């Protein structure tokens, strides 16, 4: 088995496919990072849409269903993006979108 792995590595190196595979891996990582950021930003959009629901001329039952749906979709979006990006990035975005931190002076 070890000989087969060395032979495959040799063939990939000779055919310059190893560099191509590394490049493709980087592209996938960048794409996942962009998707994660998009999901987190979308979660804030969903929460922002909740502020518009009282302005709609629909029944109270419909408003309740819309609000609940937006909260659930927002949470799913946020935590999906968080799983993709990791804990540190999620904490950073939460602090950026927290209104308490908007007017604080940085040391």
Where are any strands of DSSP class E within 9-76?
none
Question: Domain range spanning residue 89?
Answer: 2-101
Domain annotation covers residue 56: yes
The pLDDT score that the predictor gives to residue 2 is 47
How many helices (DSSP H) and strands (DSSP E) are in the chain?
Answer: 4, 0
Domain annotation covers residue 61: yes
Count of domains forming the chain: 1
Instruction: Return per-residue pLDDT of the chain as tens, 107 residues.
Output: 445 555 555 555 555 555 555 555 556 677 888 888 899 899 999 999 999 999 999 999 999 999 999 999 999 998 898 888 887 777 776 777 777 777 777 65
Residues shown for the chain: 107
Taking residue 26's Cβ as centre, other Cβ atoms within 10 Å add up to 10
CA distances from 63 to 26, 55, 70, 100 (A): 44, 10, 11, 28
């Amino acid at each position: 088995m070890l000989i087969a792995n060395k032979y495959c590595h040799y063939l990939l190196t000779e055919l310059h496919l190893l560099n191509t595979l590394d490049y493709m891996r980087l592209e996938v990582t960048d794409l996942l990072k962009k998707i994660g950021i998009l999901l987190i930003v979308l979660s804030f959009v969903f929460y922002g849409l909740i502020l518009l629901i009282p302005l709609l001329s629909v029944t109270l039952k419909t408003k309740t269903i819309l609000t609940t749906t937006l909260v659930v979709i927002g949470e799913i979006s946020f935590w999906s993006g968080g799983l993709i990006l990791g804990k540190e990035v999620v904490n950073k975005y939460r602090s950026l979108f927290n209104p308490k931190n908007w007017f604080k002076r940085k040391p």
